[in-house]
Every structure is written in C-alpha cells, then in structure tokens.
Amino acid sequence: MLQSLEEWSACQFGRHAPGLATLRRWARDGLIFPPAQKVGRKWLVEPSAAYLPAGNLVPVRPTAAMLQRNPLIKRIMERHNGPAPHLSKSKPPR
C-alpha cells in the first residue's frame, strides 16, 4: 500500500522530518528508492522506500532493456558514445 510523502516522512524521520517542499523535490529528483509515483497532485511512495542522498548515487550504464523501453536514452547514448555494438540489431561484417 502506497503512502503519501508526509506519512512516509513521519515514519522515516519522526519529528526531524523535512518539509513538504523538500520531500517533493526528493521525489521529483529521484532521490527516493523505489521511486515515488505522482498520482494526480500527490506523490506516493512505498512504506519501505529510502532516501538516497545525491552524493551516494552511483552512475549506471543503460542496459539493452532500458534502451528498448526508452528510445530517447538510446539516441543520447549513441550521440555521446557512438552506437553500442552489443545492442545493434545488424550482424557485424566478417
């Protein structure tokens, strides 16, 4: 069952909970894992979600599945790094 940011924050931080604007920024910036979901005008999170400070994040190279789901990521990666040979649909020349 999903919780509102306020409920989640009260459980996670108690009386030291950050303000609602901070919680919304964390949700928008993806600093809560599993990611918060925006439903209408409210952000909802799993009760077991955790705050991940930006300094503790590790860059992740996109997987083939991620690129298939999001063609924008694929175009950005190809423009930056060139086509990824392991993700190409065509066979390499012999």
Q: Note if the pTM is more than 0.75.
A: no
Per-residue pLDDT tens digits for 63-81: 777 677 778 877 887 887 7
Could you tell me which of 47, 42, 80 has the C-alpha nearest to residue 61?
80
For the CA atoms of 46, 47, 53, 56, the dihedral, rounded to the nearest 10 degrees, stands at -80
Residue 79: φ, ψ to 5°: -65, -35
User: Is residue 22 a contact partner of residue 40, using CB atoms and an 8 Å limit?
Assistant: no
Residues of the chain above pLDDT 90, percent = 48
Rounded Cα distance, 22 and 16, in Å: 13
- Residue 28, pLDDT above cutoff 80: yes
Domain locations in the chain?
3-52, 55-86
Round to whole Å and give the CA distance between 19 and 27. Answer: 13
Q: Selecting from 3.40.50.10490, 1.10.1660.20, 1.20.1260.10, 3.40.50.970, what CATH number does the domain 3-52 have?
A: 1.10.1660.20
